[in-house]
């Protein structure tokens, strides 16, 4: 491979960046829309976009998402304290060439960390990349990163695997793989509730505004109207779908999924406790039907929590993991990497 060069994200147009993401078969978490969304969503953390590309003398060979934010009065390379999507690179490269890319990108990440006096950097390799490209080698470990993230002690950091549903089988086969008890919940709710699919073909400001009010009634004012504007844009451009369940003309549940490049990920849920109705279960099934009907290939449904003596796992976390396991998905690695900084050691 020829000499590698770095070009900052701000030097690209949004269209140019997204064309490369598409060329490299990336996920929604590599797109310019997601970068803009996260910058708005985490504005209170003074988040900055430091993403960049790596190229040789002839072409771009990698895209590297990178964000710096202020957490508890200290800067760190992360996104809402969570991990950042790993570098996206040309899958035709040889392993030796990929290692060269990671050597440069981790060196550049170190320079960003030193410039901003960061305490750590965090990345992850999405299971959606693992299932489509077998990209689960943790090259970060060659350059001072560890796989364990202990602070804060969130559920997502206790999960090294995630469930991904292969949508390439028939709808009957997909239904047969669902936990039996869930089928009862789905059927009961389908009989007693109505559904709205808010996608680019059915998007109205009236329904979306009602969804925002439902969100605030459940979660409080945790998300700004500016962030919701980006959700609206994502739905309009085919990057997000919201599935809504209502009873007696009142919303009782909603889930949002992100989708890109025929891959989707369960993103968030809102539910109201109801007697004999199970909106979340029925909405997950509705989302599976929708993705199957629209020829999607894979659906990441969520993480499996692990008990290995390193993390303390609560009952709530076990229950959430149990819920994710009930949809017939296969487990794939969800690789994470973190590096802590002592600036006396960075050369």
Read off the pLDDT of each residue in 89-93 and give the average, rounded to a whole number: 85
**Pairing state of beta strands 250-260 and 263-271?**
antiparallel
Q: Tokens at residue 70, please?
A: 């202020």
Q: Residues 9-15: contacts with CB within 8 Å, 24+ apart? A: 9/35, 9/49, 9/50, 9/51, 9/52, 9/53, 10/49, 12/53
Q: Please identify which residue in the block is written with the tokens 């959606």.
A: 128
- Give the rounded percent of residues in the chain with a pLDDT score beyond 90: 89
- Among candidate residues 277, 282, 299, the one with its CA nearest the CA of residue 244: 282
Q: How far apart are CA 72 and CA 155, in angstroms?
A: 20
CA angle at residue 78 from 344 to 284, to 5 degrees? Answer: 155
How many C-beta neighbours within 10 Å does residue 316 have? 9
Q: Tokens at residue 4, please?
A: 């590698």
- pLDDT score for 60: 95
Read off the pLDDT of each residue in 94-114 and give the average, rounded to a whole number: 95
- pLDDT score for 34: 98
- pLDDT score for 152: 95
Read off the pLDDT of each residue in 267-293 and give the average, rounded to a whole number: 95
Domains along the sequence of the chain with CATH: 5-149+336-340 (3.40.630.30), 168-296 (3.40.630.30)
In the predicted model, is pLDDT for residue 138 greater than 60? yes
In the predicted model, is pLDDT for residue 167 greater than 50? yes
- pLDDT score for 90: 83
Q: Tens digits of per-residue pLDDT, 62-73?
A: 999 999 999 999
- pLDDT score for 347: 43
Q: How far apart are CA 87 and CA 143, in angstroms?
A: 14
pLDDT confidence band for 344 (50 / 70 / 90):
low
- pLDDT score for 346: 46
Q: Rg of the chain over CA atoms, in angstroms?
A: 21
- pLDDT score for 107: 97
In the predicted model, is pLDDT for residue 339 greater than 60? yes
Q: Tens digits of per-residue pLDDT, 219-232?
A: 999 899 999 999 99
pLDDT confidence band for 1 (50 / 70 / 90):
low
Read off the pLDDT of each residue in 183-203 and give the average, rounded to a whole number: 96
Q: Tens digits of per-residue pLDDT, 16-64?
A: 999 999 999 999 999 999 999 999 999 999 999 999 999 998 899 999 9
The better pLDDT of the pair 11, 276 is held by 11
pLDDT confidence band for 141 (50 / 70 / 90):
very high
DSSP state, 87? Answer: P
- Give the rounded percent of residues in the chain with a pLDDT score beyond 70: 98
- pLDDT score for 336: 94
Compute the mean pLDDT over every residue in the chain, rounded to the nearest whole number.
94
The better pLDDT of the pair 91, 82 is held by 82
């Amino acid at each position: 491979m020829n000499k590698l060069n770095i070009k900052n994200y701000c030097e690209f147009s949004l269209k140019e960046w997204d064309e490369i993401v598409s060329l490299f078969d990336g996920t929604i978490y590599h797109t310019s829309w997601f970068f803009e969304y996260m910058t708005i969503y985490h504005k209170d953390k003074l988040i900055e976009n430091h993403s960049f590309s790596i190229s040789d003398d002839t072409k771009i060979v990698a895209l590297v998402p990178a964000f710096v934010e202020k957490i508890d009065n200290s800067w760190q390379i992360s996104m809402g304290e969570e991990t950042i999507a790993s570098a996206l690179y040309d899958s035709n490269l040889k392993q030796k060439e990929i290692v060269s890319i990671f050597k440069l990108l981790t060196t550049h990440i170190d320079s960003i960390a030193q410039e901003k006096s960061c305490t750590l950097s965090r990345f992850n390799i999405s299971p959606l990349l693992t299932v489509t490209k077998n990209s689960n080698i943790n090259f970060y470990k060659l350059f001072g990163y560890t796989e364990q993230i202990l602070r804060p002690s969130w559920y997502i950091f206790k999960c090294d695997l995630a469930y991904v549903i292969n949508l390439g089988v028939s709808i009957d086969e997909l239904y047969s793989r669902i936990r039996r008890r869930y089928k009862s919940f789905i059927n009961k709710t389908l009989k007693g509730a109505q559904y709205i699919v808010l996608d680019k073909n059915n998007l109205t400001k009236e329904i979306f505004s009602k969804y925002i009010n439902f969100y605030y009634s459940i979660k409080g004012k945790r998300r700004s109207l500016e962030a919701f504007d980006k959700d609206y844009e994502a739905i309009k451009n085919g990057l997000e779908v919201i599935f809504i369940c209502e009873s007696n003309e009142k919303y009782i549940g909603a889930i949002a999924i992100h989708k890109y490049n025929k891959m989707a990920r369960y993103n968030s849920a809102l539910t109201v406790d109801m007697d004999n109705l199970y909106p979340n279960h029925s909405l997950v099934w509705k989302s599976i039907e929708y993705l199957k009907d629209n020829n999607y290939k894979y659906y990441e449904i969520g993480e499996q929590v692990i008990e290995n003596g390193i993390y303390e796992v609560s009952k709530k976390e076990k229950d959430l993991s149990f819920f994710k396991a009930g949809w017939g998905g296969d487990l794939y690695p969800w690789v994470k990497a973190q590096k802590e900084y002592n600036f006396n050691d960075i050369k």
